[in-house]
Structure formats: C-alpha cells, structure tokens
Amino acid sequence: MTPITTTAELAVFCDKLKGQPFVAVDTEFMRETTYWPKLCLIQAAGANGVEACIDPLSEEIDLEPFLVIMRDTSILKVFHAARQDVEIFNNLQPCRSRCSTLRSRAWRRASASRSPMTRWSARC
C-alpha cells in the first residue's frame, strides 16, 4: 500500500478513485481517553487496484479530497463492522441525509445484537 502524508498525494490518490464502482475503507483509531474516536489511519482501496494508507495525523494533510469521495453517492463504500467507521466520518464532515440513514442503519444493526440495557430505544 502507498503511504499518503500530504494533501497533494491524497488528491492524486482520490483522482484515481473517482468513477470507480466502489471503494473499500477501513480505519484505525484510538478511543481510550476520548469521547469521540481519534482517527489514526485510513486504509482505502478502489476497484481498479489502487490502494493507500492515509495518515490523518500528518501536519501536512487535509482530508477534504477523501471526504469528497466519501460524499460521492455514485461510489459504493465497503466497510467491515462499520459502526465506528461511520461515526468517525460523520464527525469529520457535516452529516447529510444519506450519511444519517447509513448511521441509523449501522446503529440499529449493532444495537440489535446487544442486551436491552444498552439499547436506548428499548428504554423509551
């Protein structure tokens, strides 16, 4: 995987993702001492074989080119266990109705497997 630490490198990578049918995304984050997860790494790959590890902690990077890809509704986003990934991306950019819908679906699926004590909807 290609390491990306600057906005210019990220823009080139995202140009290669544009028009792809899907992009697979995985994040790594820390949550031990924060309420919201702190994004530490983004791994992304497109259908055309282009792939990268994006360092969001780099002082030389603005994630906006990647967030444009995330907002592009013509590109399917593929996540595994997406609840916290969706939370991270919703916190990085203003929620749009599509993001809210995805977040709600991911939350309902994750909540359905938990006990009633952790399902806030069951307490109402």
The fraction of the chain above a pLDDT of 70, given in percent, is 72
State the chain's mean pLDDT as an integer.
79
State the pLDDT at residue 109.
56
pTM: 0.69
Element (H, E) at 89: helix 83-92
Q: Where does 2-123 sit in CATH, by number?
A: 3.30.420.10
pLDDT 10s digits, 81-117: 777 777 776 777 654 544 444 555 555 555 555 544 4
Strand 2-4 versus strand 51-54 pairing type = parallel
Both tokens of 99, joined, read 């993001």
